[in-house]
Amino acid sequence: MALQRLTITHLDGTERTVTPNLGDTLNFERTLKNNPRWGSLQENALKMQPFRAWSAAKREDPNTATWEEWVETVADVTLAGDDDAEDTVDGLGKDTLTNPHTI
């Protein structure tokens, strides 16, 4: 399975794509445990993806700001995708009947 890539879009319009790994996910869980004021995993579902992106950015560039500083500069974190990719699967529907009355 391929690693998920995330695109970080900053408020100034700059973008950066990172690839979070298992360590970044575990870093999020560890941070939740060490900061009970954040609450449970369920209460932080929307925070997990941005945190994983920040953790990956921090791993790739140790000069990345702290979580609190970084959040103030980010507009969005989205799944990185190939803009040229089609939303089709080769061969899907190949043998599907187009007229159900021909059975």
Distance CA 54, CA 57 (A): 5
In a domain, 101, yes or no: no
In a domain, 54, yes or no: yes
The model's pTM? 0.75
In a domain, 94, yes or no: no
In a domain, 96, yes or no: no
Parallel/antiparallel/unpaired status of strands 74-79 and 6-10:
antiparallel
Distance CA 88, CA 79 (A): 18
* pLDDT profile of the chain (103 residues), mean per 10: 87 96 96 93 92 96 94 96 52 55 56
- Strands of 15-18's sheet, edge to edge? 15-18, 6-10, 74-79
In a domain, 16, yes or no: yes
In a domain, 14, yes or no: yes
- Counting the structural domains of the chain, the total is 1
CB atoms within 10 A of CB 89: 7
